[in-house]
């Protein structure tokens, strides 16, 4: 089969990890007889340096005409001045909004061989396998008004947390659909004891829940959820929440998997269903890690797992996705580790070496 794909390496470690993701993808193509047509574009800081904007119209158009987008990371200290008008993150946020990628899926799964290697006790980590469904095009990130202004008594700034019932309904539905294919337990996270937007969130979640009597729906406050994620993470199956809460909780949850370098994500324009192909943008949850850039250190597992998610959700290639995930598992079992997941007695490797090891397994050689 033929697929067209836009590749946006971005900033910092982005280009390095992207190269490994593409390597693994090409091995899938070769082994299973698929043709991946790649078009490279600029996003983030590199786009600002080159064109003065974080995302150009041409790049956006290219993405709109493709089957999927693979993104590395954006941002870095070079563009971090809070006074500047345009920032790398604007490119990513514009992509999410313009491509209508409202559903961000962040699976948190602990590879059994890494159970001893995280900051938490092995008995707490064992069996952790859940998925965050984060609303991605609304809430505090996008709602208006948002501005900074001068008053006679000093500067003020505001952001707005608004959700419409339609926005809540469609994301909660993604949560229910995913739960249906899993352990049938959905936790909806809000702050309904304080926030009006959260009270609407909770009402709509309950209303949608009536259509899913087979799925158990539980509401949890975001502060309690952040505690429970550390206390008993195996408790969770599917977690659905708003944009800001999901951003914070998913970084916390990455530590369950040992490192930010282990977690992939899929941002989709609709409800994912087994076997169906849906447009999406795939990226690791980690950032551009500027201090690690150019050192052949970064962990490429998150991007390679993101490639697997792309195969599964946008290309309908479940068997191929499974091959990629197994390849990672096998390499970890053989004891290879990047610096971020390194532990005693294991073999430390760089970005390229890790990518090569995984690619070899994917290719079956
Ligand atoms: C993420 C990142 C982004 C976000 C940044 C880079 C804008 O932290 O994908 O979680 O806040 O959504
Ligand atoms: Mg984040």
Calpha distance 69→364 (Å, rounded):
26
Give the residue-averaged pLDDT of 115-120. Answer: 88
pLDDT in tens, 45-94: 999 999 999 999 999 999 999 999 999 999 999 999 988 999 999 999 99
In this structure, which ligand is nearest to the CA of 265? 1
- Residue 274 burial class via C-beta count within 10 angstroms: exposed 0-12, middle 13-18, buried 19 and up: exposed
Predicted confidence at residue 341, as pLDDT, reads 94
Query: CA–CA distance from 273 to each of 10, 130, 209, 316 (Å)?
Result: 29, 17, 18, 9
pLDDT in tens, 81-112: 988 999 999 999 999 999 999 999 999 999 99
Ligand 1 atom closest to the CA of 246, numbered from 1 = 10
Tokens of 315: 């290309």
Q: Which residues contact 248 (CB under 8 A, 6 or more apart)?
A: 222, 226
74 Cα: distance to centroid of ligand 2 (angstroms): 11
Q: Is the CB of 285 under 6 A from ligand 1?
A: yes
Ligand 1 atom closest to the CA of 243, numbered from 1 = 12
Mutate to test the pocket of ligand 1, among 43, 45, 86, 92 (most ligand atoms within 8 A of CB): 92
Calpha distance 340→302 (Å, rounded):
12
pLDDT of 43 over the 80 cut:
yes
Q: Which residue owns the Cα nearest ligand 1 atom 5?
A: 89
pLDDT in tens, 295-339: 999 999 999 999 999 999 999 999 999 999 999 999 999 999 999
Pair 70, 310: CB distance under 8 Å:
yes
Pair 97, 281: CB distance under 8 Å:
no
199 Cα: distance to centroid of ligand 1 (angstroms): 25
Predicted confidence at residue 344, as pLDDT, reads 92
Give the residue-averaged pLDDT of 342-355. Answer: 96
In this structure, which ligand is nearest to the CA of 79? 1
pLDDT of 33 over the 90 cut:
yes
Pair 158, 147: CB distance under 8 Å:
yes
DSSP 56: -
118 Cα: distance to centroid of ligand 2 (angstroms): 20
Predicted confidence at residue 150, as pLDDT, reads 98
- Cα separation of the two ends of the chain: 22
Predicted confidence at residue 276, as pLDDT, reads 80
Catalytic residues: 141, 191, 223, 247, 251
Predicted confidence at residue 116, as pLDDT, reads 87
pLDDT in tens, 257-291: 989 999 999 999 999 887 789 999 999 999 999 99
In this structure, which ligand is nearest to the CA of 80? 1
Q: Is the CB of 260 under 6 A from ligand 1?
A: no
Q: Report the sign of the C-alpha dihedral through residues 60, 64, 67, 68, in that order.
A: positive
Calpha distance 67→253 (Å, rounded):
29
Q: Is the CB of 108 under 6 A from ligand 1?
A: no
Calpha distance 245→365 (Å, rounded):
43
**Residue 58 half-sphere exposure, CB side, CA atoms within 13 Å?**
7
Average pLDDT, the chain: 96
DSSP 237: S
Predicted confidence at residue 139, as pLDDT, reads 98
Ligand 1 atom closest to the CA of 92, numbered from 1 = 7
244 Cα: distance to centroid of ligand 2 (angstroms): 9
Predicted confidence at residue 118, as pLDDT, reads 87
pLDDT of 365 over the 80 cut:
no
What's the whole-model pTM score?
Answer: 0.95
Calpha distance 200→135 (Å, rounded):
15
Pair 63, 55: CB distance under 8 Å:
no
Mutate to test the pocket of ligand 1, among 88, 108, 247 (most ligand atoms within 8 A of CB): 247
Predicted confidence at residue 362, as pLDDT, reads 98
Q: Is the CB of 281 under 6 A from ligand 1?
A: no
Q: Considering the chain, what percentage of its residues have pLDDT values greater than 90?
A: 96
Ligand 1 atom closest to the CA of 136, numbered from 1 = 12
pLDDT of 153 over the 90 cut:
yes
Calpha distance 268→284 (Å, rounded):
14
Q: In the chain, what are the domains?
A: 1-101+292-365 (3.40.718.10), 118-257 (3.40.718.10)
In this structure, which ligand is nearest to the CA of 54? 1
pLDDT in tens, 196-227: 999 999 999 999 999 999 999 999 999 999 99
Tokens 């089957």, located at residue? 67
Q: Which residue owns the Cα nearest ligand 1 atom 11?
A: 247
Pair 11, 283: CB distance under 8 Å:
no
- Secondary structure of residue 297 in the 3-state scheme: coil
Q: Can you give the length of the chain in residues?
A: 365
Ligand 1 atom closest to the CA of 96, numbered from 1 = 12
Nearest to 43 by CA among 95, 116, 113: 95
């Amino acid at each position: 089969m033929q697929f067209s794909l836009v590749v946006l390496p971005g900033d910092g470690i982005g280009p390095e990890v992207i190269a490994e993701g593409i390597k693994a993808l090409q091995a899938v193509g070769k082994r299973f007889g698929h043709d991946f047509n790649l078009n490279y574009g600029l996003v983030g800081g590199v786009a600002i340096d080159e064109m003065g904007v974080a995302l150009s119209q041409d790049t956006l158009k290219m993405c709109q005409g493709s089957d999927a987008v693979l993104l590395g990371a954006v941002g870095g200290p070079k563009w971090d001045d809070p006074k500047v008008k345009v920032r790398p993150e604007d490119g990513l946020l514009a992509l999410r909004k313009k491509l209508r990628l409202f559903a961000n899926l962040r699976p948190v799964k602990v590879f059994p061989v890494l159970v001893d290697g995280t900051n938490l006790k092995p008995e707490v980590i064992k069996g952790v396998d859940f998925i965050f469904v984060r609303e991605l095009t609304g809430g505090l990130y996008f709602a208006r008004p948002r501005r900074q202004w001068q008053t006679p008594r000093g500067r003020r700034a505001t952001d707005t947390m608004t959700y419409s019932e339609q926005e809540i309904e469609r994301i909660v539905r993604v949560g229910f659909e995913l739960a249906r294919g899993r352990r049938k337990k959905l936790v909806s996270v809000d702050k309904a004891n304080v926030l009006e937007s959260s009270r609407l969130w909770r009402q709509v979640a309950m209303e949608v829940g009536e259509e899913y009597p087979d799925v158990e729906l539980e509401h949890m406050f975001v502060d309690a959820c952040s505690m429970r994620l550390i206390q008993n993470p195996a408790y969770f199956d599917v977690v659905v929440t708003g944009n800001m809460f999901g951003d914070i909780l998913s970084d916390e949850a990455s530590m369950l998997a040992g490192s930010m370098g282990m977690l992939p994500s899929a941002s989709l324009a609709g409800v994912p269903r087994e076997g169906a192909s849906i447009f999406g943008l795939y990226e690791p949850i980690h950032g551009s890690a500027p201090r690690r850039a150019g050192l052949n250190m970064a962990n490429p597992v998150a991007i390679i797992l993101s490639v697997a998610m792309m195969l599964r959700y946008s290309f309908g290639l479940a068997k191929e996705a499974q091959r990629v995930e197994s390849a990672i598992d096998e390499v970890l079992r053989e004891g290879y580790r990047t610096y971020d997941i390194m532990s005693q007695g294991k073999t430390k490797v760089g970005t390229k070496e890790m990518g090569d090891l995984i690619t070899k397994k994917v290719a079956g050689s």
